[in-house]
Amino acid sequence: MIEKILLAVSGLGHAEEMLKTLREIPSIQSAKVTILHVVQAQNTAATMTAKWENGGKILANAIQTLNLDPSQVSSILREGDPKDVVCQVADEIDADLIIMGSRGLKRLQSILSNSVSQYVFQLSSRPMLLVKDDIYVKRIKRIMVAIDNSDSAKNCFKLALFLLRDIQGGELILANVATDLGGKKSEITEVSSDKNPVLAAAVAEAKNQGIQSRCYISSGKPGEEICRLAEELNIDLLLLGSPDRRPSIAKNFVDIDRLIGSSLSDYVRVNATCPVLLARTIA
């Protein structure tokens, strides 16, 4: 399911470290990696030259840090608006996964600061793995999926099975949150799957693939609960289904109303204490 990875690097953050950790997973080790750095246009030729040279160094450092087989890695240095170029290159190489660093800015802050990761998240339909600057990237053993009946959650579940199938000692955590918009929280409870049809089907499929799983339920505001579960259960990677968020009328323009409005995936990407992989299902 993941054969082509696009890693967007800026010289800051944990994106390279995240890919290095991800590459320890057997099912990812044969994936081709494209490392991208985008140089924004400058006012003078001298400044532009300096930016190109620095961009080349950033790519070289990333390649050295990752220590990948030369046959599995390529690099692209391109001029333009980073948020547009990341989407363009992802389409050009038909990336199965985009990995980016994120400052964890809230929605309005992201708009005002021209956040690259937020705009790519808004416009791309491809799975994205966002790594905030302030989190600790751990070896991936315990993967959590926020599970419900949605197609995007089912897509996340399949992706989690793909990642976990060859991880020795790996564990799948299935979390089902009952919505209480009043914010009244329940205890986080480990449950048997037999009384919950959604959990039961997922557990059965995981068992068929030899993957150990555990199920938890809670109630409250979904975004807050998912983040609370991920933190209290010491999750290494959180997978969250996110419906296609691109504007239905004009796919090439950012939907400001949705960016500012309430969004589960926005809340989780900002507040989760572990890396977040957002997987989509196109509407």
pLDDT in tens, 16-25: 999 999 999 9
- pLDDT surpassing 70 at residue 249: no
Among 28-32, 92-96, 100-104, 243-247, the range scoring the smallest mean pLDDT is 243-247
119 and 41 both lie in a single domain: yes
**117 and 195 together in one domain:** no
What's the pLDDT at 43? Answer: 81
State yes or no: pLDDT of 179 exceeds 90: no
Structure tokens at 189: 């409870």
In a shared domain, residues 116 and 147: no
Dist CA 271 CA 176 (whole Å): 18
191 pLDDT more than 60: yes
Asked if 200 and 180 sit in the same domain, the reply is yes
Indicate whether 264 belongs to any domain.
yes
How far is 281 from 279, CA to CA, in rounded Å?
7
Residue 179 and residue 276 in one domain: yes
Are residues 61 and 81 both part of a single domain? yes
Has residue 137 been placed in a domain? Answer: no
pTM: 0.86
Nearest to 97 by CA among 170, 22, 25, 13: 22
d(CA 107, CA 261): 8
Task: Give Cβ neighbours of residue 48 (< 8 Å, ≥ 6 apart).
Answer: 39, 41, 42
Q: Other CB atoms closer than 10 Å to residue 239's CB: what's the count?
A: 27
Mean pLDDT, residues 36-61 taken together: 90
Number of domains in the chain: 2
Q: Specify which residues 55 forms β-bridges with.
A: none
CATH at 218: 3.40.50.620
Task: Give residue 88's domain range.
Answer: 4-132
Dihedral class, residue 169 (left if φ above 0, else alpha if ψ from -120 to 50, else beta): left
Confidence at residue 281, expressed as pLDDT on a 0 to 100 scale: 64
Indicate the residue among 114, 132, 150 that finishes a domain: 132
Residue 184 has pLDDT above 90, yes or no: no
- DSSP one-letter string for 188-239: -EEE-GGG-HHHHHHHHHHHHTT-EEEEEEEEE-HHHHHHHHHHHTT-SEEE
Band of the pLDDT at 244, cuts 50, 70, 90?
low
Tell which of 132, 166, 191 closes a domain.
132
Cβ neighbours of residue 68 closer than 8 Å, sequence gap 6 or more: 23, 33
Q: Is residue 26 part of a domain?
A: yes
Q: Which of 94, 114, 132 represents a domain boundary (last residue)?
A: 132
Q: What is the mean pLDDT of residues 25-47?
A: 91
Across all residues in the chain, what is the average pLDDT?
A: 84
Position 216 scores a pLDDT of 94
Residue-wise pLDDT for 84-126, tens only, equals 999 999 999 999 999 998 754 444 344 334 467 777 877 888 9
